[in-house]
Amino acid sequence: MDKKHQINIWYAAGAFFLLLLFQSWWVTYKTVETIPYSEFEQYLEAGNIEEIAVKENTIEGKFRNPLADGKQYFTTTRVDMPLAEMLQKYDVKFTGVIQSTLLRDLMSWVLPMLVLFGLWMFVIRRIAEKQGLGGMMTVGKSKAKVYVETGIETTFDDVAGVDEAKRELQEVVDFLRDPKSYGRLGAHVPKGILLVGPPGTGKTLLARAVAGEANVPFFSISGSEFVEMFVGVGAARVRDLFEQARKAAPSIIFIDELDALGRARGGTPFQANDEKEQTLNQLLTELDGFDPSGGTILLAATNRPEILDQALLRAGRFDRQVLVDRPDKIGRRAILDVHSKKILLAPDTDLDQVAQMTAGFTGADLATLVNEAALLATRANADAVRLSHFTEAIERVVAGLEKRSRVLSDKERKTVAYHEMGHALVAANLEGVDPVHKVSIIPRGIGALGYTMQRPTEDRFLLSTRDLENRMTVLMGGRAAEAVVFDEISTGASDDLQRVTEVAREMVSRYGMDEALGNRVYSVPRQSFLGQNFGDESDVSQETAREIDLAVREKVETAFTRAKDILTAHRKDLEAGAALLLERETLTEADFPAISPVALRQDKRPDAAE
């Protein structure tokens, strides 16, 4: 518990204890004797009544001389009306109030209310702090976490696979280390640098590495933390954040997930949000008055630059955009080297093969992969992490966990075996297709009853028409195998059909890969007011839309026909591979050479589809 909260608790407990003590003393001190009215008259005649208070139904008073038991106050029931005359006869002072009731009222009403109010405020404050609202006096304070030089140990050595981005940011480090020497020719660093790239590529890690290299305070805050339920709070926090950074200069301000704060304004009536727009306006104002020569650098990160407000991206605000993309094979190997230092790696483990099998993985994916491989090795009581553990970890990351508890009937297992072997054989008999690494009929993930894993030999950034057609043919290999062997099809190809349809539609409507429709784009991604992709928008006529649908269907059917022709020509391999797969459940090219690439097999046979 926070020390401040402990002090508040002790104050409340102490006040409550003092209240109990005072109440006990007050009751003990004001001891009241209840007497009959006849005794009251006797005491009155004896002259032992000093003063009384006449109420509607009772009489309270004080004895001149305390009773034998020490009681000095009394109360009795009011009986007769001519009481005042009798009191005057005996010269007794009387009034409606014995003494001032200010202290009594204070103790009986005000003080308990204050105690309850204090406890209520304490509980409300604790709830508000847990909800992130904070106190009313600190609602405009920035929530930025400040990491001084002892808190940032990350350097550029801890960041791999993004060498171009590191070179861009090295200028920032040089400026923060020596601003005067860096600007000797009149140059100054950009006001703002925007790190752009897919999730998990290391944007936040790069920003921390800049602060670690420059040894300066690092103000880190997420874009969503600026916006609260109160209008104007976000703008106040922006002002407070920049003020703190200027006082701590040289320093770095890092705003993560900038798209949560800087989304384009006024896109639709549903998008209007006064609090967000005020916060964004304040950020733009701070950037206009921002002087980087003071030693403060603004970094921001987003994976959706297309939805940012254009006012943020203009010259003079975020002057430079640094792409932090998915790493290539060399970058993946460098990232694996960084993360493998934390585990016990077998000497014969070839990380180049791991980098080759992980095309498309981000830095975060590779970190998870290394940890998953170490967990698998630990679970198997191995003495070190080996290549087999990495292979199994890749399968778990890509295809999901094995579901051996999912029991299939013999007919279903046979259908799945032919389906997966169809994918593998089609891929093996087409040139330029990624080679098959493993075929399995072990259920994985949510709905996969089997899978065929292909291993890319190189990173590819351009795909030709033939490459896409071959990819579609491989996707249709499973359904083609079912049609060739069983003369019927099943629902197992639903995911394949969805993917092959997407490829065909992209070829026709976006890449201009259909001769009849020509070299033009017929559809572009459509963004909703929340920035989500809700399909494509197109300005084509109904006749052209029909031609697009026919072209897509023709390409899908052509791929299906090619796959059937290949499998018909290699029917024996299909039968033998399916039988072996039913027996072993998992096959590699070493177990069944027919699924190795056609160019590597000695018994190379002509492609039936060519």
CATH of the domain at 212: 3.40.50.300
Instruction: Based on the fold, state whether residues 157 and 286 are members of the same structural domain.
Output: yes
What pLDDT is attached to residue 591? 84
Q: Decide if 119 is inside a domain.
A: no
241 with 377, same domain? no
Answer whether residue 362 is part of any domain.
yes
For the chain, the straight-line distance linking the first and the last C-alpha, in angstroms and rounded, comes to 74
| Residue 570 labelled as part of a binding site | no
Instruction: Give the separation between CA 351 and CA 387, rounded to whole angstroms.
Output: 8
- Catalytic entry in 420, 469, 482, 589: 420
- CA atoms within 13 A of residue 48's CA, in its CB half-sphere: 14
Is the same domain home to 275 and 308? Answer: yes
39-to-30, 56, 157, 598 alpha-carbon distances in Å = 20, 20, 98, 123
Residue 89 lies in domain: 3-102
Kindly report the CATH number assigned to the domain that includes residue 19: 3.30.720.210
Most trustworthy range by pLDDT among 28-37, 136-145, 244-253, 291-300: 244-253
Question: Radius of gyration of the chain from Cα atoms?
Answer: 41
Q: Are residues 63 and 178 in the same domain?
A: no
Residues 432-475: pLDDT tens digits?
888 888 888 888 765 678 878 887 777 777 889 999 999 999 99
pLDDT of residue 475: 93
**435 is known to lie in a ligand binding site:** no
Question: DSSP secondary structure string, 302-332?
Answer: ES-GGGB-HHHHSTTTEEEEEE-----HHHH
CA 446 – CA 432 distance, rounded (Å): 31
Q: For residues 64 and 435, what is the distance between their CA atoms, to the nearest angstrom? A: 113
Tell whether the torsion through CA atoms of 138, 139, 142 and 144 is positive or negative: positive
> Could you tell me which residue, 590 or 70, shows the higher pLDDT?
590
3 state SS of 307:
helix
d(CA 50, CA 87): 11
Tell me the mean pLDDT in the region 5-23.
60
Q: How many CB atoms lie within 10 A of CB 69?
A: 7
Please indicate, yes or no, whether residues 385 and 414 belong to a single structural domain of this protein.
no
* Range 143-161 average pLDDT: 67
- Co-location of 426 and 575 in the same domain: yes
- Written as six digits, the tokens of 489 are 């099809």
What does the alpha-carbon distance between residue 23 and residue 219 come to, in Å, rounded to a whole number? 53
Taking the alpha carbons of 570, 576, 579, 585 in that order, is the dihedral positive or negative?
negative
Whether 392 and 512 share a structural domain: no
| Percentage of residues of the chain with pLDDT beyond 70 | 72
CATH number of domain containing 481: 1.20.58.760
In 17-151, DSSP assigns E strands to 32-34, 49-54, 58-63, 73-77, 93-95, 145-147
CA 482 – CA 463 distance, rounded (Å): 29
Let me know whether 553 and 431 are in one domain.
yes
How far apart, in whole angstroms, are the C-alpha atoms of residue 409 and residue 307?
Answer: 49
**pLDDT confidence tier of residue 8, bands split at 50, 70 and 90:** low
Q: 358-404: per-residue pLDDT in tens?
A: 888 888 889 999 999 999 999 989 899 998 899 888 888 777 666 66
Q: What is the phi/psi pair of residue 602, to 5°? A: -70, -35
Confidence at residue 527, expressed as pLDDT on a 0 to 100 scale: 46
Report the run of H or E that residue 182 belongs to, with start and end. helix 179-182
Residue 416 contacts residue 585 (beta carbons within 8 Å): no
Backbone angles phi, psi at 501, to 5 degrees: -70, -40
The Cα–Cα gap between 16 and 21 comes to 9
User: Is-catalytic flag, 392?
Assistant: no
Q: In this predicted structure, which of 4-8, 29-33, 205-209 has the lowest mean pLDDT?
A: 4-8
Peptide bond into 593 cis (omega under 30): no
Q: For residue 250, is the peptide bond before it cis, meaning its omega torsion is within 30 degrees of 0?
A: yes
Number of domains in the chain: 4
* Residue 302 near residue 317 (C-beta atoms within 8 A): no
Domain assignment present for 423: yes
Q: Is residue 204 marked as binding?
A: yes
Task: Report the distance separating Cα 416 and Cα 23, nearest Å.
Answer: 83
Q: For 40-56, what is each residue's pLDDT tens digit?
A: 777 887 888 888 887 76
Helix runs in 514-570, H state only = 542-569
Those residues whose C-beta lies under 8 Å from the C-beta of residue 297, and which sit 6 or more positions away, are 172, 175, 176, 189, 193, 210, 250, 251, 252, 253
Whether the predicted pLDDT of 25 surpasses 60: no
User: Which sign does the torsion angle of CA 201, 252, 187, 310 carry?
Assistant: positive
Instruction: Quote the pLDDT of residue 422.
Output: 93
> What are the helix (H) ranges across 99-158?
102-105, 111-130
Give domain status of residue 115, yes or no. no
Are 375 and 457 within one domain?
no
Does 373 map to a domain?
yes
The CB-based long-range contact list for 57-65 (8 Å cut-off, 24+ gap) reads: 59/83, 60/32, 60/98, 61/94, 61/98, 62/98
Q: How far apart are CA 359 and CA 38, in angstroms?
A: 106
Q: At 1, which amino acid appears?
A: M
User: Is 444 within the bounds of a domain?
Assistant: yes
Distance CA 484, CA 167 (A): 56
Q: Is 47 annotated as a binding residue?
A: no
Phi and psi at 209, nearest 5°, equal -65, -35
217 annotated to a ligand binding site = no
Looking at 369, 399, 429, the residue that finishes a domain is 399
| 290 in a structural domain | yes
- Contact predicate 581/441, CB 8 Å: yes
Residue 300, strand partner residues: 194, 255
Name the residue among 303, 364, 357, 360 with its Cα closest to residue 335.
Answer: 364
CB burial class (10 A; 0-12, 13-18, 19+) of residue 574? buried
Q: Is the pLDDT of residue 31 over 70?
A: no
User: Does 437 count as an annotated binding residue?
Assistant: no
Confirm whether residue 201 is marked as ligand binding. yes
Quote the DSSP letter at residue 295.
S
Give the bridge partners for 537, in sequence order: 524
Pair (73, 151) in one structural domain: no
In a domain, 372, yes or no: yes
Q: Look at 531 and 131; give whichever has higher pLDDT.
A: 131
Mean of per-residue pLDDT scores for the chain: 77
Q: Which of 73, 102, 131 is the last residue of a domain?
A: 102
Strands 251-256 and 218-222 come out as: parallel
The pLDDT confidence band at residue 610, using thresholds 50, 70 and 90, is very low
Whether 67 and 155 share a structural domain: no
Given a contact cutoff of 8 angstroms between Cβ atoms, the answer to whether 323 and 280 are in contact is no
Sequence length of the chain is: 610
Are 422 and 387 contained in the same domain? no
Answer whether residue 607 shows pLDDT above 60: no
Helix (H) or strand (E) holding 389: helix 387-399
